[in-house]
Structure 1
């Protein structure tokens, strides 16, 4: 019995050592994390979140080439990203699906997806899910809006119906951006982000 308990303890310790390092969940008002980490965009350009931020802030969205929720939100993503950029808010979509990197989430596949979607904003590879871990992001698409001072103003979904655009009642991210631009406090600064799970390497 003691030997079995010993081996079970060793296995538990070994397993825990392979779990991704999670940071404290970001709360509204938190500073933009990992702002100076070098990231590779699908254009081949190296960027940082700090460098991508516009005069009025930064929108970071955790995305994917293959997630069904991402696909259901493609039109909404286009609209919200265009709205952000028109108002001097930088946009970065982050692909943290490391466990799928050898296939449909490869850098080449990201380039192809970005081209099909006519991305006019950054779409970057998150090596070892460094950003996902720092943001405590777990779903696709999951959105983080930062103000001009790099403080988190909103985190959550694009709206209240990620699975079906026909039943949207509250455009959460749109509202947050508009309030931010108006110099107001964001009324709903945290919301759920139903979607695919980010596939980290164990």
Structure 2
């Protein structure tokens, strides 16, 4: 178990990172604005679930494969970008209609999309394998256990922040229900966000 001072330092850094706008936060906001609060919350939980995958990889050293084999990194990166584009195309083909039935039906989809987009973003794995070990101390127990504990805490913090973002996006969606034209425009904006995230994932490389 990490010592208290190390843990507090870690959480301060984690919170600073979590409140900084990034692809996950943008994805949750787009889902909430496109489909409503519950879909945004489902997307946030999906991202948190996907993060557990990367956290496990980091804990047991498997994420090092991305460092040792750059081709594997690129394959996963392009797969993630392709999936984001697929989401964007779906948003364009099916413009949002802010009704209760549509929001209910979107919850499972938003959750699955959150999981998949996070798993297929290798930069998340690289982040965990680079960030978490910095707070592992030699005398605080097995390194893998410390990484798991820190990863869970980081994930909880990030999920809470994303849920707050989902509530904000959902309130925006509620105001757009009465205006189909603006709702349609929001669908195009959400699709554009997904496309830009895909472009960012492709162009960002391994920097």
- Report the TM-score, using the length of structure 2 for normalisation: 0.22
